[in-house]
Amino acid sequence: MSREQRLSEIIADHQGREGPLLPILHDVQEEFGCVDEEAERAIALALNLSRADVHGVVSFYHDFHTKADSRPVVQICRAESCKARGVEALIEGAVKTAGERVKLADVYCLGLCSSGPNARVGDKLHARLDGAALNKLIENA
Amino acid sequence: MTIIRISDDALARACGADEVAAAFAKAGATVERTSSWGMQWLEPLVEVDGKGFGPATVDDVAAILDGSSDKAIGVIAEHPFIASQQRLTFARAGKSRPLSLEDYEQHDGWVGLKRARQIGSEQIIAEMLHSGLRGRGGAGFPAAIKWKTVAGAVADQKYIVCNADEGDSGTFADRMMMEGDPFALIEGMAIAGEAVGATKGYIYIRSEYPDAIDKLRKAVNLCAHIIAPFECEIRAGAGAYVCGEETSLLNSLEGKRGEVRAKPPLPALQGLFGKPTVVNNVLTLCAVHHILAEGGAEHYQSLGIDRSKGTMPIQLAGNIKHGGLYETAFGITLNELVYDIGGGTASGRPVKAVQVGGPLGAYIHPDQFEVPFDYEAYAKLDALIGHAGITVFDDTADMGTMARFAMEFCAVESCGKCTPCRIGSTRGVELIDRIRAGGRVLEGVELAPQMHNMPKKGRSQEDEIKLLEDLCETMKFGSLCALGGFTPYPVMSALKHWPDDFRGK
């Protein structure tokens, strides 16, 4: 199936719903790793919106990206609870371990606040991290 | 045959519950995945015939099976952490399998909905009013009043929206509820639908909670026939903190930027797609089925103090020894929560501050720990109960840094709609930096002659602090929503109680 076909399939999947834009963007991001200009155009056309409207939404949310990044992503929680449990002291080492190969991203709360520092890789969560555990997580990402 | 019970809550899984469960299965045991008891420092907690072992690792499996494990904590239900609670919203926590309709029914499931359908809208709202339930999302607005407004509105379509996007740091009760007892939330929404005449409900969940999204999607499918004609749909957010604000959430559900809407019009009259809409938080909706059961409203309002009725699921988080979910009636103090129940800090160092109510909540000084947990008492402290997250910090915390972080967070997450929040937060970061640098130096002023309102001589540290206070006032009273409006709470409380952390003394 071509990219174009897959895109229209995703749009068609949601078009009958109320407020279909966010579910469409989630699926497009999931499928292609980003919501690029071409996707924005196709979605805008299908939903009778301007591309500016769609781009406004894509750029508003942290989860959507306009360019694909094929690197594995490790999200590290930098919010208050994890700060109280010492996450900031682990960041320098994590950046070093990640290098260019792994993308580190900040996240503000994974909901594991009694047991930080916490991180997320894909849909898998990790709690009670120390420097060694976090670095191992990044190495294996 | 012995059944091994292990929670499949996200926190337990993040601590290795899946691996421990697999090891038990490999050793020939029958494993049941349950909801979490909420004793998070003991996760993964393994339950064998009512007795607990934790925190368990794969290496503990053999010893637990042959009864020689040194991780035994005794009978779970009798553990002081559990036995001292008043659990209503979390009544089934640890006791049932999240996606088992059979378990849910056995533990009073659907009783509230059945009764709600018998007594009808007016009586449902009367009982909700009698219970004294206030919105558990933070603002503490009486839930029944909102419902009454929607019930009285005339429209061809009304909606129930569950705000499951509140992911404040230090709060995780919503997540545990959705993962551990999803049917309770769905039942609460169906009852709300019955009360106001809505047949469609949306649960908008933040994307940082993948387990909760998955569980609720499955739960909705499993119970569709029970809640019909009410329909429930799960929507995932996309990583915008401000969408926890009800009007932003509505815009987001409609497929727009999650910008705040000015009120009025109230969402109760013009909410989702312009239709009358109930927007309630997860814990509010989860309290409903108990209230609607026979005698529930009376029981609920008999708990708590003054105008804070019923129970509150309190989340013990941050640098705390015994962290977890602790549900109790209003009126408890931070001294009891932090020291008696929480066991003090995890690091063993003295407690410096406790942030109550998430990132927008005030930092409470240990001198104030005797104030009872109550909406009005906290308002008097210039603090808020919010989502009842208790984030403990030890004496290594730098409160100037935390205040700066609050402003920085607001700047990153601001939806941009109103000036005090969008610009004020960025100015706030700069101001705190200048305060911490000792004030604005003269050289800096001369470099910016084009600024007409620039002071002609530098500003002292004290001047800059006054300016920060002024900025906070502007944000507090001029912002459209709680993000800009409440960011001053952590900033001002930090400045008030720990001024030395700002002044570099």
pLDDT at B459: 84
Q: How confident is the model at residue B453 (pLDDT cuts 50, 70, 90)?
A: low
Average confidence (pLDDT) over B370-382: 94
Contact criterion met (CB below 8 Å) for A138 and A94: yes
Q: How confident is the model at residue B456 (pLDDT cuts 50, 70, 90)?
A: low
Identify which of A59, A5, A8 has the alpha carbon closest to the alpha carbon of residue A36: A59
Contact criterion met (CB below 8 Å) for B144 and B128: yes
What would the two tokens of residue B451 be?
A: 């600024």
CA distance B267 to B284: 17
pLDDT at A1: 84
Chain B residue nearest residue A59, CA to CA: B257
DSSP B213-233: HHHHHHHHHHHHHHHTTSEEE
Determine, for residues A127 and B239 on separate chains, whether the beta-carbon distance falls below 8 Å: no
Using a CB-CB cut-off of 8 Å, the residues of chain A touching B357 are none
CA distances from B304 to A5, B307, B357, B470 (A): 58, 8, 18, 37
Identify which of B393, B322, B501 has the alpha carbon closest to the alpha carbon of residue A85: B393
The residue type of B366 is P
CA distance B173 to B282: 9
Average confidence (pLDDT) over A52-73: 96
Determine, for residues B317 and A113 on separate chains, whether the beta-carbon distance falls below 8 Å: yes
pLDDT at B444: 52
What would the two tokens of residue A67 be?
A: 């360019």
**Tally of CB atoms within 10 A around B424:** 25
Q: How confident is the model at residue B439 (pLDDT cuts 50, 70, 90)?
A: confident
Helix, strand or coil, per DSSP, at residue B86: coil
Q: How confident is the model at residue A125 (pLDDT cuts 50, 70, 90)?
A: very high
What would the two tokens of residue B356 be?
A: 């109550």
pLDDT at B117: 97
What would the two tokens of residue B487 be?
A: 């960011």
- pLDDT digits 0-9 by tens, B140-154: 889 999 999 999 999
Q: How confident is the model at residue B306 (pLDDT cuts 50, 70, 90)?
A: confident
Most distant pair of Cα atoms in chain B: their distance: 83
What would the two tokens of residue A61 be?
A: 């949310």
Contacts of B55 (CB under 8 A, 6+ apart): B15, B41, B42, B43, B44, B45, B71
Q: ipTM, 2 decimals?
A: 0.96
CA distance B266 to B90: 31
Mean pLDDT of chain B: 95
- pLDDT digits 0-9 by tens, B149-198: 999 999 999 999 999 998 899 999 999 999 999 999 999 999 999 999 99
Q: How confident is the model at residue B139 (pLDDT cuts 50, 70, 90)?
A: confident
Give the best residue of A27, A43, A53, A109 to mutate against chain B (max B CB count within 10 A): A109
pLDDT at B76: 98
Give the best residue of A114, A126, A136 to mutate against chain B (max B CB count within 10 A): A114
CA distances from B206 to A83, A123, B55, B285 (A): 21, 13, 28, 17
pLDDT at B137: 78
- pLDDT digits 0-9 by tens, A77-121: 999 999 999 999 999 999 999 999 999 999 999 999 999 999 999
pLDDT at B361: 96
Average confidence (pLDDT) over B333-341: 98
Instruction: Tell me which of B452 and B229 has the higher pLDDT.
Output: B229
Contacts of B430 (CB under 8 A, 6+ apart): none
Chain B residue nearest residue A119, CA to CA: B14
Q: How far is CA B341 from the centre of its chain?
A: 19
What's this model's pTM, rounded to 2 decimal places? 0.95
Q: How close B43 gets to chain A, by Cα (Å)?
A: 10
Q: How far is CA B142 from the centre of its chain?
A: 17
CA distance B149 to B172: 30
DSSP B404-446: HHHHHHHHHH--SSSHHHHHHHHHHHHHHHHHHTTEE-HHHHH
Helix, strand or coil, per DSSP, at residue B504: coil
What would the two tokens of residue B264 be?
A: 């009025």
Peptide bond before residue B44 is cis, with ω within 30 degrees of 0: yes
Determine, for residues B41 and A57 on separate chains, whether the beta-carbon distance falls below 8 Å: no
Give the best residue of B156, B169, B275 to mutate against chain A (max A CB count within 10 A): B169
